[in-house]
Amino acid sequence: MSCSRTDLEEKVLKEIRPTSFQIKILEKFSSIIKKKLNYCMKKNNIEGLVEEVGSYAKGTLLNDKWELDIFVLLKNKNDIWINNNGKDFLLSCLNDFPTIIKYSQHPYVTVSYMGLEADVVPTVYVEKPRKKGMGVERTPFHTKYINSKLNNCQKDDVRLLKSFFKGLSIYGAESHIEGFSGYLSELLIAYYGSFFETLKHISDWKDMVYIDIEGNGDKETLIKKYPQSKLIVVDPIDPYRNVAAAVSQRSISTLILASKLFLKKPSMAFFHKFSYNIRSNIDAPLLLTLGHGNYYNYPPTDIWGKLKKITENLEIKINELGVGIIKSSYFTNESNLIAIGFLIDRDTLPKADIMEGPNVYDDINSISSFIKKRLDEGGIVYIKNNKVYGGRNKKIKDLTNFVNSIIIESGIKFNNIVETRIYNNFDEIDIKGEIKEWIENSFYSVPAWMVDI
């Protein structure tokens, strides 16, 4: 099949498309695991099917992902059995392999062997997804649907789109990314037809975007169900579900801008294998908190979710103290380290709080109450235009102690003292390794695709 592509797209595809060797290795790995599982089910008189799902099974895998998704669809079992026994059953079947227990809606097992990984997920066998069933029930149907909708050219278009999303750091539906999942990438290509057409249409997105490939969704119902979503993509397998529910306004805005810039001036820097950041000369302080704990004992989504909530809460409180936040970010290696950072416009707190009071035309009792409170605090009151204002000494004197105490009380467990510091600029930061890289990319640099315009 001949595919119409630009030279740039072909160059990118050569770098991101799996090689025939990689496919053969994954095929062999998959075959070994499936044989193990089928033998184990037969031995234990358990009926079911073992199916490949996900990007590998759909032919949309990127070559930096040496991994598989394998579902064990168990017949005559219910959700309770899956939750209580599914993990142990898989572990008994795969006991010849190094395994890791992971968590989503219920526990599943990751087989890790010589650089290869396979997520093996137990679920109930169903003829079609149940309305109140487990979310994973949809996955095998997603795989069949995409394989029925996309030809080989379009599967390469999906690879280009995934790489584009990864280059913009908006690939993945996880809470710390709030971006575009692999399945959503596939649906966008199925809807718009190609990588180029997808970017062309995205560059024209405005307000709320509604996409319904099969025409089986109820727009009014979905808008009510997902009031915060600016992008609704109806799941062809479950028309009551918005595949784009996790996508934030920031991710949508990033994608719209990047699509416009790419169409104006295509560049390899938009794609993840070629993306890089350019150091900024901004001389702003960084408020940084580091903490250590045994985070490998918790589902990664829980840790990322807590960090997100703490960061959003702190951003509000820091702003209320009179410190402007240029940018915020958070990080965990999902093992033993967490970090929360704020690029701020000053490294010291204002000495006083200024409060806007009532209008001089208001009731005298409310005015008197405001004046009395300010004077009782040892502050001052004054009139500006037609309003009464008050000034008082700031109760919180030290920003780092304030942030430290909130994080310690946040519910995240630590092995030792949490440390919050203010660094006056990037060159002053004396931290090495993954944290330094995260700091540079998150606070003191600009993506190359935004620079060469």
> Can you tell me the mean pLDDT for 147-170?
97
Nearest to 127 by CA among 71, 75, 72: 75
Residue 102, H or E segment: strand 99-103
Residue 413: pLDDT band (50, 70, 90) is confident
pLDDT in tens, 378-399: 999 999 999 999 999 998 999 9
**b/e 121-158 (16+ beta carbons within 10 angstroms → b):** bbbbbeeebeeeebebbbbbbbbebbeebbeebbbbbb
Check pLDDT > 80 for residue 433.
yes
Q: How confident is the model at residue 134 (pLDDT cuts 50, 70, 90)?
A: confident
Token code pair at residue 316: 């509000």
The whole-angstrom separation of Cα 423 and Cα 429 is 6
pLDDT exceeds 80 at position 64: yes
Parse the chain into domains and list their residue ranges: 18-147, 150-275, 280-349+396-450, 352-393
What is 280-349+396-450's CATH number?
3.30.70.1120
Kindly indicate the confidence band of residue 280, based on its pLDDT and cuts at 50, 70 and 90.
Answer: very high
Q: Please write the tens of the pLDDT for every residue from 181-204.
A: 999 999 999 999 999 999 999 999
Q: Which residue has the higher pLDDT, 183 or 106?
A: 183
Domain at 18-147, CATH homologous superfamily: Beta Polymerase, domain 2 (3.30.460.10)
**Sign of the dihedral defined by the CA atoms of residues 124, 129, 134, 135, in that order:** positive
Residue 290 has, within 13 A of its CA and on its CB side, a CA count of: 17
Exposed/middle/buried for residue 60 (C-beta within 10 Å: 0-12, 13-18, 19+): buried
CB of 143 closer than 8 Å to CB of 57:
yes
**Which residues, at least 6 apart from 196, have a Cβ–Cβ distance to it below 8 Å?**
6, 9
The DSSP line for 418-437 is -EEEEESSGGG----THHHH
**pLDDT given for residue 240 in this prediction:** 94
> Between residues 106 and 190, which one has the greater pLDDT?
190
- Separation of alpha carbons 288 and 427, rounded Å: 14
179, 6, 268, 200 alpha-carbon torsion, rounded to 10°: -40
d(CA 86, CA 71): 12
* Cα pseudo-dihedral 107, 113, 118, 120, rounded to 10: -40
Q: What is the pLDDT, as a whole number, of residue 301? A: 85
Nearest to 27 by CA among 72, 59, 64, 74: 59
Fold of 150-275: Poly(a)-polymerase, middle domain (1.10.1410)
> Does 3 score more than 90 pLDDT?
no
Tell me the C-alpha distance between 244 and 32, whole Å: 35
Cα 10 to chain centroid, rounded: 28
Give the Cα separation of 304 and 291 in Å (integer). 14
The one-letter amino acid at 225: K
Which pair of structure tokens corresponds to residue 392? Answer: 């008082």
Q: Which helix (H) or strand (E) holds 210?
A: strand 209-211
Rounded to whole angstroms, the maximal C-alpha distance in the chain is 85
pLDDT tens per residue, range 302-319: 899 999 999 999 999 999
3's tokens: 């595919």
pLDDT at 66: 87
Low-confidence winner among 136-140, 233-237, 340-344 (lowest mean pLDDT):
136-140
